[in-house]
Structure 1
Amino acid sequence: MLLKTFGWSFAVTVIGLALAGVLWGWKGLAIVGILSILEISLSFDNAVINAGILRKMNAFWQKIFLTFGILIAVFGMRLVFPVIIVAITAKMSPVEAVNLAINDKDRYEHLVTAAHPAIAAFGGIFLLMIFLDFIFEERDIKWLGWLEKPLAKLGKLETFSIVVALVALLIAATTVATDVAHGGGDKTATVLLAGVAGLVTYLIVGGISGYFEDKLEEDEEDDEDETAGAEDRGEDGGEAKGSSGARGSTGASVAGLAGKAAFFMFLYLEVIDASFSFDGVIGAFAITNDIFEMALGLGIGAMYIRSLTVFLVRRGTLDDYVYLEHGAHYAIGALAVILLATIKYEINEVITGLVGIVLIGASYWSSVVRNRREAAAGEGAEAKPEVTSGV
């Protein structure tokens, strides 16, 4: 199970580190290794969130996430995305941006860093919406009940999460964006525009995937009702065959809807991954400004996040440790706040990674305690009748 899930990650690690050693020597090998660890530590909560979404998708789309999705994550977000950002902000062609990244690494780093306010505002608001929609939703299982119960009541107000996100954006634009360290000057307009873009992106992609998912569930419920009705009427074999054919037709429709829902969920996953990767890409410049070392190191880390996501899905870890999703969403909320704060302030990536690890670790331990408590209660319930019958 472990080798099957992480086999490609292990292989990419060996090949990547060997390639780094050949191209850049021991120094390059060390840099790529450090970047890989940085990416894993920063994105562990990403794996938990991804697993919560990926388990709703069929095996085909899980494979797409692991193949095509990893190409987007490694080459798209870790290599192409910074180049595109430089091309847009510096108003140059992508070819010129690539040439700059190879031949003038210091200026390339400066331009990527200067674009950080817009990147942080977009990613921060997008991630904040994920956290808010989770925390304002009524749930049967609550981790921090004293906090989640009142917030769930507030969440009954429609668009409340959007209002909170916009208020957070306004606060960021009128405080940390007025005197920015990255690029210098007043970036209020830039932060407002990028933040609104992040909010709109979340509403569009999340709304479309949610629509198809709800439609799929409705069709499945209708199909089950039709089947139950046919069984209650005791239809004969010929009618049953016709009903089966109708169900097959409905099943095809459901499969089509599942495909659409899965497609938009896949897009949603990729946007989430993009938002998570912003801090890793920016933080990587503290270690190296070579885009190829950066892409290789962060790419290896992204492979492990993908494999860890599938591992969590296949092992049913989120079902066994019910507070993990809560911890991951709290980590997302913390990351969103940190991203918005980094518009002006320098926050070490170690702090960002530790916050996520601590929150997820705490939720994991709470899940273990809960499972032990329920197991002990179950054993006690079974033991009690035995003692009574013995008397």
Structure 2
Amino acid sequence: MSMSTAQPKSLFAYLKWAIISTFIGLALGAWLGWSTTGTLAGMLTVFFICAVLAVLEISLSFDNAIVNANKLKEMTPVWQHRFLTWGILIAVFGMRIVFPLLIVVIAANIGPIDAMIMAASRPEEYSRIMHEAHLPIAAFGGTFLMMVALTYFFDHDKEIHWVHWLESRLSRYAEIKGIEIAFVLLVMLVFSRFIEGEARTVFIVSAIYGLLTFLVVEVLGGFLDSTQEAAKATAQGGLGAFLYLEVLDASFSFDGVIGAFALTQNLFVIAIGLGIGAMYVRSMTIMLVERGTLTQYRFLEHGAFYAILILSVIMYVQTIYHIPEVITGLGGAALIGVALWSSIRWNRNSEAAE
């Protein structure tokens, strides 16, 4: 069931809450800059960093919005609403605040309160711990996202192909059970050869956890969304998809949260900037579902999954070399832009043929 409405909403109607959160977030950022530095220059610096982080989050997560919209189409209206309300709380507060704190709690073996104090009083130490945790996070998130992308392409029921010569072959090979898992394990082993010492073990173990998480979410989602009785289906329908989308959101957030420390070491500035971006991603998700944009532009979804696949490889590469987050964001945005242009051109050719 879809989230269609009787009358089409304007672009402003979709972005209203995101725009409101932008004003509130940037105002908080300016206040934080003034209260911590006491200077106009410091206030403007923090204000600017919050704005840049919001743009970075939007560019990195636009493909996430497309994937979310594709999954939301299949969910019941109740679970659609829950994802777009509860989900935003989990995305903003869970991944942008609790997740970075949890990393420091585990890595430094300290309590949550001590981690908060460290974030406020010793941001350099906090940032160092976050960067040291980048290897297992990149391995876990890269593996999960790679499975997400490959599962889309290795699908024998997939009929629409953008890069036809490649996708048609991948669709045929999907009949080989576990081929995407074998591919991910092969990539994992290849990259592990370039990592030495204890770091190699950390990489492999984290990547395996990423693979297991994807498989567990898939199995759990299938179990929860299975319909043996109509009443049971009504009560449970969408829970599996909800869990899948939350883990997917978390995987997309890994790179942005870690990369944000390249711009600032202040946890609260990061939370404000990335939180604003997350609101826009949610707004775009709702718009894509209600307007049926994925149906109108047949290759847009393909571009998103190619962007996810490239992002997963970049996260693997980042365990060896540093790649600026701006490249990651622009690369994904460029792919989606090309997919949109291809879709528009296909629509024009189809209309001309008719």
Q: One fold, TM greater than 0.5?
A: yes
Does 1:13 find its partner at 2:31? no
Counterpart Cα distance in 1 of 2:305 and 2:255: 17
Correspondence for 1:298 = 274
**C-alpha deviation, 1:211, in angstroms:** 4.2
AA matched with 1:195: A
Tell me which residue corresponds to 1:201: 213
Q: Say which SS state the counterpart of residue 157 (structure 1) adopts.
A: coil
Give the structure 1 partner of residue 72 of structure 2: 54
SS at match of 2:262: coil
Q: Assess if the C-alpha contact under 8 Å between 2:255 and 2:315 holds in 1.
A: yes
Partner of 1:318: 294
Secondary structure of 1:289's counterpart equals coil
Q: Where does residue 5 of structure 2 map in the other structure?
A: none
1:313 CA drift (Å): 0.3
Distance 1:152 1:166 in 2: 20
* 1:267-295 Cα shifts (integer Å, max 9, x gaps): 11111111111111111111100000000
Matched residues, number: 335
TM-score, normalising length: structure 1? 0.83
1:254 aligns with 2:266: no
The code of the aligned residue for 2:248 comes to: I
Name the CA distance, whole Å, in 1 between partners of 2:189 and 2:215: 18
Matched, 1:168 2:187: yes
Identity percentage over the alignment?
A: 45
Structure 1 residue 68 corresponds to structure 2 residue 86: yes
1:169–1:339 CA distance, 2 compared to 1 (3 A): same
State the shift of 1:308 in Å: 0.3
Alpha-carbon separation, structure 2, partners of 1:31 and 1:112: 19
User: Paired residue for 1:142?
Assistant: 161
Give the CA RMSD over aligned residues.
1.4
Tell me what 1:3 maps to: 12
Query: Deviation at 1:210?
Result: 3.2
- Deviant stretches of 4+, over 4 Å: none
When normalised by structure 2's length, the TM-score is: 0.91
Q: Which amino acid aligns with 1:27?
A: T
Paired with 2:133 and 2:32, the residues of 1 have a C-alpha distance of 29
Q: How far 1:93 moved relative to its partner?
A: 1.8
Question: Structure 2 CA distance, aligned partners of 1:187 and 1:155?
Answer: 33
Q: Distance in 1 between matches of 2:236 and 2:116?
A: 40
For 1:32, the equivalent position in structure 2 comes to 50
Q: Could you say what secondary structure the match of 2:160 adopts? A: coil
1:98 equivalenced with 2:74 (yes/no): no
Distance (Å, rounded) in 2 between the aligned partners of 1:73 and 1:194: 22
Q: Which amino acid aligns with 2:218?
A: G
Please say if residues 223 and 240 of structure 2, whose CA atoms lie closer than 8 Å, have aligned partners that are also in contact: no
Deviation track 1:153-210 (CA, whole Å, cap 9, x = no partner) reads 22210011111111111112221x32xxxxxx64011111110111011001122223
**Residue equivalent to 2:258:** 282
Q: Which amino acid aligns with 1:91?
A: N
Q: Is the 8 A contact 2:68 2:245 kept in 1?
A: yes
Q: Partner amino acid for 1:41?
A: S
Question: Aligned partner of 1:188: which letter?
Answer: R
User: 2:303 corresponds to which letter in structure 1?
Assistant: G
* 8 Å contact kept, 2:63–2:308: yes
Unaligned 5+ residue runs, structure 1? Answer: 179-184, 220-249, 379-391
